[in-house]
Amino acid sequence: MPYCPNCNAAVDDGALLCSACGADFGPESAWHPGSSVDRASHSLTYVVGKSMLYLGYGLLTLAWLVSCVGSRKSGLAVLIGFSASLILIPVVVLGHVLVAYSHKTTGDPTAS
Ligand SMILES: [Zn+2]
């Protein structure tokens, strides 16, 4: 059963309009109903990607703070902050890739 990318309501195969929210699935529209399989993989990829982004940016900010504040006292804080940044940057990049991939697979123009 396909799902509406706007409101997640089940829609009929080949439907041109969502009966729940009125979203347009016509040939001119960017919205197309996704299958339930696409939807499951979309939400998992999207949630994992977004989690990595928030976690990555949050910890990256913390790492920079630690290295800036701690640098007055010892070089160890700078080393820890720098090492953490090296680990976190790939996490953030992968998060962006996962979120972009989840958008591409569903073609939902409203997701952010
Ligand atoms: Zn809808």
**85, 46: one domain:** yes
Whether residue 107 is predicted with pLDDT greater than 70 in this model: the reply is no
Neighbours of 56 (CB within 10 A): 20
**Average pLDDT value for residue range 93-108:** 80
**18, 63: one domain:** no
**23, 42: one domain:** no
**60, 25: one domain:** no
Q: Sorting pLDDT into bands at 50, 70 and 90, what band is 39?
A: low
Quote the CA–CA distance of 10 and 55 in Å, as a whole number.
33
- What confidence tens digit (pLDDT) does each residue in 14-36 have? 888 889 999 888 888 877 777 65
| Ligand 1 centroid to residue 33 C-alpha, Å | 9
| Ligand 1 centroid to residue 52 C-alpha, Å | 28
| Ligand 1 centroid to residue 1 C-alpha, Å | 14
**27, 48: one domain:** no
Per residue, the 3-state secondary structure of the chain, as one string, reads CCECCCCCCECCCCCCECCCCCCECCCCCCCCCECHHHHHHHHHHHHHHHHHHHHHHHHHHHHHHHHHHHCCCCHHHHHHHHHHHHHHHHHHHHHHHHHHHHHHHHCCCCCC
**59, 83: one domain:** yes
Please tell me whether the overall predicted TM-score, pTM, comes out greater than 0.85 for this model: no
